[in-house]
Chain A
Amino acid sequence: MKKFEVLEHKADLKIKVFAKGKKELFENAMIAMFEAAQYKPLAGGEEKKEEIKISSFDFSSLLVDFLNEVLYLTETKKEVYQRAEFEELSETGLKARLWGRELKTMGVNIKAATYHQLELKKGKEGLLEAIILFDV
């Protein structure tokens, strides 16, 4: 199963994310965001660990709010994350741990994840699919 694909958009970055379950969807969305925008970690270096706790309006907003919180950490701590583990993930809240490395370079700077045309659905073969537009 591929984790994501990049969709066509005139000015911004639009990504379709695939996953077998909700936790994986959130983790894959984070990985997709960094890979599509080419955020690259510094080779070697020590592992970085962060914790996130968020509550949101509904499940699809929660996904966008999670990604924006990750972007905040990336920009202020100069880190990029490769793995997320969710201690809690409900319809309106989550508690997660992130693992990553120091950020070396990025291809394009993501300003934010948007709620525009946000789509969350069950697709082919029962996989969860999310389409997310990022302002870059």
Chain B
Amino acid sequence: MMFKKVMINRSDFKKINDWLWEIPKDFRSDMRVSCRIYASEKMLGQIFRDQSIPQLINGATLPGIVRYAIAMPDCHEGYSVPIGFVGAMDVSEGIISPGACGFDINCGIRLLKSEYSEKELKPYLEKLATEIQKEVPSGLGMGREKKLSLQEIDRILERGAVYLAERGYGRKEDIENCEGAGRLEWAESRAVSYHAKNRGRDQVGTLGSGNHFLEIQKVAEIFNPEIAKDFGLFEGQVVVMVHTGSRGLGHQVCSDYLKEFIPLMYNKYKIKVPDREFACVPFNSPEGQKYFSAMASAANYAWANRQMISHYLRETWKKVLGQKAKELEVLYDVAHNIIKREKYKINGKEMDLIVHRKGATRAFPPEHPEIPFRYQKTGQPVIIPGSMGTASYVLAGVQTGEQAFFSTSHGAGRTMSRRAAIKRISGSQVVNRLADKGIIIKCRSFRGIAEEAPMAYKDIDRVVEVVHRAGLSQKVAKLVPLAVVKGE
């Protein structure tokens, strides 16, 4: 089936407020709900220039979708729905779509706090960055030297970061401070193919390439001193951010289920969608349940991956700073590509929904039962990475975020294609510019660096301003990089 071309004009957008725009349900006959886009007027202009809006409209046609198909301010064109999408489907009548979760299942962010200030750590930064690069393989889709057995992979798939913590690669607090406590219990390793498991055998504890990175950062600005204090953040503090996901294992789970579901979608369930890539089936079907378990297994693998990276980081920390160096503590670990079952009130009635977040960060408010006790008063820490070498943010979930199924943006969002970036700037120029700003950068080659140049992305400050002002999350602290470790 062909992708539907849509002619859409600015006049088709209804302004809800300065940060929110709507495309009404009657814009296209196959839309089941309206679309809502969180953006400033200027950003809307940028979003308008690629296929994000037609892809968002396609998302609004999915069976069982309730309330709105939502786009975040960092959205850009992807495949099936745009990156920066939130769509919630009714459990009883709705679908589950592997394409609307994407290949990098549980791509996410973990932020670790140190007790050091930038001043105290400065003499050790270069050495830390060098050692971290050695300890955490970060390029080429390649893995570690030792391969795990398939039995060990099965345990990781079913028990996630919990399994690694029990084996001595982490602490109880690490697990408590993960979304889903580092383990989605409906995971089933038998729902994951041999191909996927085999791809995962040497990638636990690896960053991968592309936009994934590890950064040593400092807290540059505090916006909300009270919450920052509760989060254990102070100005000048050194923190470490890890951005990666489920690696080849997650990619394979997505590929496997897209392949399996396309014929089921057309022939068995007779679902009509405008893009084959949705490959959706009813959530309440044996196949839908199997994918939901496989997706959870890959998500568990991603939490284990970030847990293992934390372990290597802690070892490196001690090696460089001495055995007495205080251990890095996890602030929070949150996914931005995942499908979760959550409860919301829709038209006054509590409903079980299947929330698809593709390039959107979950952001639960204070007193939400699914966040740890220590964040019950503040709301969940919401961690938003910038593009390489630019600022990142810590926010906190708020009650008004319910309008977007408690979701917030996931980054800066591309505004320039990889090819356009390469034409405009070279990898060595990017590295030199970062070095001019005093940022240490460790990459094995310049390949792939130009593509991730800050100029290829939207301004993160503006993206975060939108989610703050729109009431999706509140700003707590701004982080700036001191050293970047990147895949090629």
Question: How many of chain A's residues have a CB under 8 angstroms from any CB in B?
Answer: 32
| Contacts beyond the supplied A10-B51, A135-B79: 11 A-B pairs with Cβ under 8 Å | A10-B76, A12-B79, A75-B248, A76-B199, A114-B99, A115-B275, A115-B277, A116-B80, A116-B275, A118-B276, A135-B102
B276 touches A106 (CB 8 A): no
A115 touches B141 (CB 8 A): no
Most chain-A Cβ atoms within 10 A of its Cβ — which of B140, B199, B208, B414? B140
B103 touches A111 (CB 8 A): yes
B419 touches A105 (CB 8 A): no
B202 nearest in chain A by CB position? A76
B50 within 8 Å of A by Cβ? yes
B195 within 8 Å of A by Cβ? yes
Partner of B417, one of A10, A61, A75, A111: A10
Q: With A10-B50, A109-B209 known to touch, is A72 a contact of B447 (CB < 8 Å)?
A: no
Q: How far is the CA of A25 from the CA of B488 in the complex (A)?
A: 30
A52 within 8 Å of B by Cβ? no
A97 shortest CB reach to chain B, Å: 19
Q: How far is the CA of A9 from the CA of B415 in the complex (A)?
A: 11
The stretch from B256-264, B373-381, B435-443 touching chain A is B256-264
Q: Binary interface profile of A, 7-25, with partner B (CB < 8 Å = 1, else 0)?
A: 0111111000000000000
A13 shortest CB reach to chain B, Å: 8
B176 within 8 Å of A by Cβ? no
Q: Which residues of A contact B198 (CB under 8 A)?
A: 76
A10 touches B248 (CB 8 A): no
A30 shortest CB reach to chain B, Å: 16
Q: Binary interface profile of B, 243-261, with partner A (CB < 8 Å = 1, else 0)?
A: 0000010011011001100
A105 touches B140 (CB 8 A): yes
Most chain-A Cβ atoms within 10 A of its Cβ — which of B99, B276, B277, B414? B276
B191 within 8 Å of A by Cβ? no
A107 touches B277 (CB 8 A): no
B432 within 8 Å of A by Cβ? no
A90 within 8 Å of B by Cβ? no
Which 4 pairs show the lowest CB-CB distances between chains A and B? A116-B79, A116-B277, A109-B141, A111-B103
B5 shortest CB reach to chain A, Å: 10
From residue 51 to 99 of chain A, which have CB atoms closer than 8 A to chain B? 56-57, 61, 65, 68, 72, 75-76, 78
Q: With A9-B417, A78-B142 known to touch, is A114 a contact of B79 (CB < 8 Å)?
A: yes
From residue 41 to 57 of chain B, which have CB atoms closer than 8 A to chain A? 50-51
Partner of B414, one of A10, A78, A117: A10
B154 shortest CB reach to chain A, Å: 17
Q: With A12-B78, A75-B248, A105-B447 known to touch, is A112 a contact of B254 (CB < 8 Å)?
A: yes
Q: With A11-B414, A111-B251 known to touch, is A136 a contact of B77 (CB < 8 Å)?
A: no
A116 touches B76 (CB 8 A): no
B104 within 8 Å of A by Cβ? yes
Q: Which residues of A contact B254 (CB under 8 A)?
A: 112
B451 within 8 Å of A by Cβ? yes
Q: Which residues of B contact A135 (CB under 8 A)?
A: 79, 102-104, 251
Q: With A76-B199, A115-B277 known to touch, is A9 a contact of B77 (CB < 8 Å)?
A: yes
Q: With A75-B141, A76-B198, A135-B102 known to touch, is A115 a contact of B78 (CB < 8 Å)?
A: no
From residue 413 to 427 of chain B, which have CB atoms closer than 8 A to chain A? 414-420
B279 within 8 Å of A by Cβ? yes
Q: How far is the CA of A107 from the CA of B448 in the complex (A)?
A: 6
B487 nearest in chain A by CB position? A109
Q: Which residues of B contact A107 (CB under 8 A)?
A: 447-448, 488
Q: How far is the CA of A2 from the CA of B23 in the complex (A)?
A: 42
A136 touches B210 (CB 8 A): yes
Partner of B199, one of A11, A72, A106: A72
B223 within 8 Å of A by Cβ? no
A99 shortest CB reach to chain B, Å: 21
